[in-house]
Chains A and B, each alone.
Chain A
Amino acid sequence: AQSVTQLDSQVPVFEEAPVELRCNYSSSVSVYLFWYVQYPNQGLQLLLKYLSGSTLVKGINGFEAEFNKSQTSFHLRKPSVHISDTAEYFCAAARGGATNKLIFGTGTLLAVQP
């Protein structure tokens, strides 16, 4: 069965420091990968997605992610975080086909401290 794993439930980091949020997926077929962000009391906003092509994907707000097929990973990175980046980040995978239902990881809370 397809699954998405986010090993870190919470990542504390100081403002202007770099950050990496880890995501691993399991699948025997090609997948489509996404990172969503959820700010407090809000819905989910798409940060970036990998469908095919270049393995380095750039998204909004200075975030980027790298698809690594051999390690089945899709880690999210930002070179310098801001207080406003404090939010819950969800990695998700879609299998494609007749339905593109998203399978979400458990989320990682990015807590940026001044």
Chain B
Amino acid sequence: DSGVTQTPKHLITATGQRVTLRCSPRSGDLSVYWYQQSLDQGLQFLIHYYNGEERAKGNILERFSAQQFPDLHSELNLSSLELGDSALYFCASSVVAGPGTDTQYFGPGTRLTVL
């Protein structure tokens, strides 16, 4: 158990809908990262938040957005869902966002299926 929790574990929805994925980082971790794992794209970085502020964006679609709240949990919002958004979404947390000396710990993931 990494200490990172993600809810829900599974999510099945229809095209055009909107969903929210939730992540609670390990106690004391200030950074939250979101990754998408799909069969065709592999594991890709989406977005990084540090202590409530966005630090970096990766291959995140404009239909997707995220935020990190004062209690440091984070939510990833996916809207106007398409079939291709079906994937495993991972959240990871780390203590800081410094010069690479901290380790990212991954949650169990949320499996999103868009029908």
Contact = CB atoms under 8 A, between A and B. Distances in A.
A46 B103 contact: yes
Q: Which 3 A-B pairs have the closest CB atoms?
A: A96-B100, A99-B56, A32-B100
Nearest to B47: A101
Contact of B48 (A95, A99, A103, A106): A99
Interface of A: 31-32, 34, 36, 42-46, 49, 51, 90, 92, 94-107
Contacts of B48: 99-101
Chain B CB within 10 A, most for which of A31, A36, A51, A101: A101
Contacts of B109: 43
Contacts of A46: 103-105
A94 B43 contact: no
Given A90-B43, A98-B55, A99-B48, A43 B104 contact: no
A13 to B, nearest CB: 23
Given A43-B90, A92-B43, A104-B43, 5 more contacts: A43-B2, A43-B106, A44-B92, A100-B94, A105-B42
Interface residues of B, number: 29
A49 B2 CA distance: 16
A111 B101 CA distance: 32
B64 interface: no
Interface string B87-105: 0001010100111111111
Chain A CB within 10 A, most for which of B31, B92, B100: B100
A114 B45 CA distance: 36
A99 B104 CA distance: 12
Contacts of B107: 43
Given A99-B56, A101-B58, A104-B43, A44 B97 contact: no
29 contacts: A31-B100, A32-B101, A43-B2, A43-B90, A43-B107, A43-B108, A44-B90, A44-B106, A45-B106, A46-B103, A51-B100, A51-B101, A92-B43, A95-B100, A97-B100, A98-B55, A99-B48, A99-B55, A99-B97, A100-B31, A100-B33, A100-B48, A100-B98, A101-B33, A101-B45, A104-B35, A104-B44, A105-B42, A106-B42
